[in-house]
Amino acid sequence: MDIQTLILIVCVVISASLITAAASLSAKEVTYAVKLLLLFIALMIDIIGFASRYYLYLLAPLFTQRRRHVVISNEDPYWLSASQDAILRKEGESFVATVYITIPVYRSATEMSDEEKLSFSTQVSRMVGLVRNPARFTTELRVMNKDSYIQRLRDTINVAENEEVELQSKNASQGELSRVRGKLTMWRNMLESLSNSFSFELMSYVAVSADGAKEFEAVSIAQQRARELISGIGSIFGVQPNTVTGNEILRFVEPEFMIPISTVSEQISRGVEKEVI
């Protein structure tokens, strides 16, 4: 008998017994207020018994902690496997490993004929139908991390500024100076326009999980399922999907990778600007 069924039975038995006791006690032994209190407690237990079906994960911490911020778990939600190709999570007594696979399909509907569009939809349907065990297909529109690109632009601007100073000190011709200044203006404009708005990238991937009694067992089953999916997706789209490894997995799991921290300051300053101006 599982814990949920046991809780239901215990709640039903206790509440039924309390109601019977409350109704059976004679008014000489207890006041009606006590009878109603017993009835109220019994009905609360009955409601808890019903709610335990869906909310068992919350009810136990709610009653034991008795505070407004209820801690269900204080542990990290997952950890990276030793082989660096899956994330692991403990569910009861078993381990669940999840493997991520990228799908390198870059096609645009604007470049497709009607037949190609229909065929692409069929391919997507076939891909979704590949699975035996649950798998999650995801398409993500994420904010690009432009940090390194912005840094490159800044370096280029610095080089151009040095060039301009050097030319001025050498009393170079006006034509030479105009050419460098023009280049400098172009790079500065590009930096400004790049910082003014987000750039987005679209990517598709699949997540597949497997459970096992040991970590390595869960990981190897998940990898096996991933290989099956890779060959299926590869044959449908004619591309080579890859398993994601190492810190790259964080991009698919953590919310801060959806909007990289480096771009957040830009968003916040734009928000403040909107409020102030």
Partner 1 sequence: MDPLGIIYLAFTLLVVLIGFSMLSGFGSGITFDIALFLLSLTAIIILALNWADFIVFPAFTSFLNITFQPARDYTITKKQDAVLKNVAGLYYATGYLSANLFPYIFKMEAGEQESEIKALQAADVWEKIVMSLNIPFKFHVLSSGLDVQGFRDELEGARGYQEFQLARAYESKANETTITEIQRKISVIQARIDKISQGEKPIATVMYLETTAVAVSEKAAIDMLNAQINQLSVAFGSFDVQLNRIVGRELYTLFKFSFSLPPTYEKMTTYFQLEG
Among 3, 54, 147, 247, binds partner 1 (CB under 8 A): 54
Residues 147-176 that bind partner 1 (CB under 8 A): none
- For the record, the structure tokens of 37 come out as 């209190």
Q: Which amino acid is at 231?
A: S
Among 122, 168, 173, 189, binds partner 1 (CB under 8 A): 122
Among 6, 43, 82, 159, binds partner 1 (CB under 8 A): 43
- For the record, the structure tokens of 27 come out as 């008014």
Partnered with residue 95 across adjacent β-strands are 90, 212
- Asked if 2 is part of the footprint of partner 1 (rule: CB under 8 A), the reply reads no
Count of residues in contact with partner 1, rule CB under 8 A: 95
Among 63, 84, 104, 121, binds partner 1 (CB under 8 A): 121
- Asked if 135 is part of the footprint of partner 1 (rule: CB under 8 A), the reply reads yes
Residues 245-274 that bind partner 1 (CB under 8 A): 253-256, 258-259, 261, 264, 267-268, 271
Stretch that binds partner 1, among 37-45, 156-164, 166-174, 239-247 (CB under 8 A): 37-45
Are the CB atoms for 260 and 147 separated by under 8 Å? Answer: yes
Stretch that binds partner 1, among 39-47, 154-162, 163-171, 178-186 (CB under 8 A): 39-47
Among 30, 60, 70, 80, binds partner 1 (CB under 8 A): 70
Please work out, in degrees rounded to the nearest 5, the angle formed at the alpha carbon of residue 172 by the alpha carbons of 167 and 176: 85
- Asked if 63 is part of the footprint of partner 1 (rule: CB under 8 A), the reply reads no
**What whole-number distance in Å separates Cα of residue 7 and Cα of residue 53?**
9
Among 3, 6, 53, 165, binds partner 1 (CB under 8 A): 53
Q: Which amino acid is at 122?
A: T
Among 30, 60, 80, 120, binds partner 1 (CB under 8 A): 120
Closest to 85 (Cα-Cα) out of 234, 176, 216: 216
**Shorter beta-carbon distance to partner 1: residue 114 or 192:** 114
The pair phi, psi for residue 31, each rounded to 5°, is -80, 165
Instruction: Say which residue the tokens 């039903």 belong to.
Output: 12
Are the CB atoms for 135 and 207 separated by under 8 Å? Answer: yes
Are the CB atoms for 218 and 210 separated by under 8 Å? Answer: yes
- Asked if 214 is part of the footprint of partner 1 (rule: CB under 8 A), the reply reads no
**Residues 6 or more apart in contact with residue 55 via CB below 8 angstroms:** none
- Asked if 194 is part of the footprint of partner 1 (rule: CB under 8 A), the reply reads no
Among 58, 82, 165, 186, binds partner 1 (CB under 8 A): 58
Residue 135, classed as helix, strand or coil, is strand
- Asked if 1 is part of the footprint of partner 1 (rule: CB under 8 A), the reply reads no
Residue 173, classed as helix, strand or coil, is coil
**Shorter beta-carbon distance to partner 1: residue 157 or 239:** 239
